[in-house]
Amino acid sequence: MDNPSKIIEGGVEFSLGNFDGKNVLYDFPKILIYLDVKGKLLFGKNFRIHDEDKDILLKLCSYFIKDRENCSSYGIDIDKGILLSGPVGCGKTSLMRLLRYVVPLQRPYELIPCRNITFGFNHLGYKTIEEFGNTKFYCFDDLGIEPIGRHYGKDCNVMGEVLLSRYELYLKTKQKVKTHATTNLNAEELEERYGNRVRSRMRELFNLVAFDKEAGDKRK
């Protein structure tokens, strides 16, 4: 039987904790070592785990490894998705791309820029929205800064419609379908962008995990 506490990267075995045959007792410092190595493989040698991000990483890792006790102390519901918010360049997208690898046996989510979904709508119309109302797991990247969709002269707030579809699906599947997102916007800006109805559905779809407003731009 596979040992889910061990991951092999480039011929090197990394341990994320101890496996007792049923459960993994994860070790956060070991997870950080693995994430640093995997991050360099994915994003280049300049990638590193920043000390100031360790608190947010602990929250996100607790969620992905389904550590109910830790999640409960953070007010995180493991049945909901993650809405990761923070300033431009703080590393939201990289973390959401990276954290999938900590739990290789869990169902992965596909990371898709919101603007690509809007462009898809402009070409294909409402079929695009229907496509995302399916049981796949997604992380919608850069929510809130995508353009308004337009198909045959009709405007549509595409991501607002997609989120409503994902919410309906979430209810129907008894919280089995995961939707994640990253955003640079705060709650008021999201409400302005999508309206009160979508905003209230987002509260039920997502756990909000936020970087500090002062988090620096790591791309500089």
Spatial CA neighbour of 204 closest among 85, 36, 83: 83
Using alpha carbons, list the distances in angstroms from residue 76 to 56, 159, 165.
12, 24, 23
What mean pLDDT comes out for the span 199-215?
Answer: 88
Domain ranges of the chain: 75-210
pLDDT for the residue 220: 60
Contact by Cβ (8 Å): 149, 157: yes
Between 180 and 87, where is the model more confident?
Answer: 180
Residues 84-100 have a mean pLDDT of 91
Q: Which two tokens stand for residue 44?
A: 């280049």
Average pLDDT over residues 86-101: 90
Enumerate residues 6+ apart whose C-beta is below 8 A from 169.
Answer: 133, 134, 135, 177
> In angstroms, rounded to a whole number, what is the distance separating the alpha carbons of residues 139 and 59?
17
pLDDT-derived band at 1 (thresholds 50, 70, 90) equals very low
Q: pLDDT of 34-69, one tens digit each?
A: 999 999 999 999 998 888 889 999 999 999 999 999
Report d(CA 53, CA 161) in Å as an integer.
32
The confidence band for 212, taking pLDDT boundaries of 50, 70 and 90, is: confident
pLDDT: which is higher, 10 or 145? 145
Class of the 75-210 domain? alpha beta
Query: Per DSSP, which regions of 34-137 are E strands?
Result: 81-85, 110-113
CB 32 within 8 A of CB 56: no
In this structure, what token pair is assigned to residue 3? 């040992």
β-bridge mates for residue 138, sequence order = 110, 179
Predicted local confidence at residue 74, as pLDDT: 94
Judge whether residue 2 has pLDDT over 80. Answer: no
- Give strand pairing partners of 149: 156
Which residues, at least 6 apart from 83, have a Cβ–Cβ distance to it below 8 Å?
143, 180, 181, 182, 183, 202, 205, 206, 207, 208, 209
Q: What is the pLDDT of residue 11?
A: 85
Q: Is the pLDDT of residue 95 over 90?
A: yes
pLDDT mean over 25-34? 91
What pLDDT was estimated at residue 219? 62
Task: Read off the pLDDT band of 201 (50, 70, 90).
Answer: very high
Query: Measured between alpha carbons, how far apart are the two ends of the chain, in Å?
Result: 44
Between 174 and 147, name the one with better pLDDT: 147
Any idea what the Cα angle at residue 138 is, between residues 159 and 1, rounded to 5°? 175
Mean pLDDT for all residues in the chain: 90
**Quick one: pLDDT band at residue 5, thresholds 50, 70, 90?**
confident
Tens digits of residue pLDDT in 161-194: 999 999 999 988 876 889 999 999 988 899 999 9
Residue 140 near residue 98, CB atoms below 8 Å: no
Full strand arrangement of the beta sheet holding 206-210:
110-113, 138-141, 179-183, 81-85, 206-210
